[in-house]
Structure 1
């Protein structure tokens, strides 16, 4: 696949929102309430992403297919939001790929570019939070060099259900190159 990774622009918000919703619906089926997932709307998320991209927080990089121009995935990153995190730690806030294009290298390409982006900003490590029940995502992150952080466990509530999230970290100089 011929991918271009580039910074997202506010005009990309619709494509980003569509992938966000489709990826949630596919990845979290059986983990998050089906009615909640079915009710997700790209239109509701588009405004958030347009504003976030315009403000630069988080920074969003997107993957675009060179053959058809389609946005195939995106990664949001920035400073680590965890209380007390060192200034040298960046965070992958989110990474989503169009489910129709899973397992084709898009996620790896996005992470590789994000890693270089964080290194250029003086970050030595990165962290991310992943639902404990999202085993495919955990396998992906592990292949990219992330390891579980024994102190990184928290509970979140989604659609009235309490879910466990796990923090994973990676040293940027040695991960997923």
Structure 2
């Protein structure tokens, strides 16, 4: 898919180091002040690259990894697949992650990745998409709300270095609606 100079495509094994860089820098930027700084400082692009490669090589045909590329440079990544209630798949669909290079936040990259994930999930016949977002992450919550997602009442703690950080679940219907 092409939109406003962006190419949204399936991730390849060669993209793993770039995706890891986007993910780690995204965490360090988006979650500053929301989780322990020592944890964020300890994130490693090399370790995350190894994890991305292992996930990618192991493969799960139900998980879709998308990247956003502008002028040959990776600027964002999104991943969706079966919703997990604990370790049990429920048959619903979940946006697992969406990260944009911190210097490209607000440029439409995240919106394009989300639109493509939503479109693919709707085309596959899913009725709604779920995601988890940190309760105190106001910018992310606004982003999702502008895209038709809203809290559905479910909350759970996410633990980082022994600190409970509450998450809220958001949902968006996929049938009969277009991404706003």
**1:81 counterpart = 2:53:** no
**Length-normalised TM-score, structure 2:** 0.90
Paired residue secondary structure (1:37): helix
What is the alpha-carbon root mean square deviation over aligned residues?
1.6
| Counterparts of residues 127-138 of structure 1 (less than 5 Å) | 127-138=130-141
Q: 1:98 aligns with which of 98, 101, 104?
A: 101
Point out the structure with the larger strand share: 2
Q: Which runs of 4+ in 1 moved over 4 A?
A: 83-86
| Counterpart Cα distance in 2 of 1:52 and 1:61 | 14
Q: Is the 8 A contact 1:144 1:175 kept in 2?
A: no
Change (3 A) 1:123 1:39: same
Is the 1:52–1:58 Cα contact (8 Å) retained in structure 2? Answer: no
Other structure's SS at 1:168 match: strand
The within-5 A match list for 1:2-13 is 2-13=5-16
How many pairs does the alignment contain?
173
1:83-162 aligned at under 5 Å gives the runs 87=91, 89-150=92-153, 152-162=154-164
CA contact (8 A) 1:75 1:110 kept: yes
Residue matched to 1:64: 69
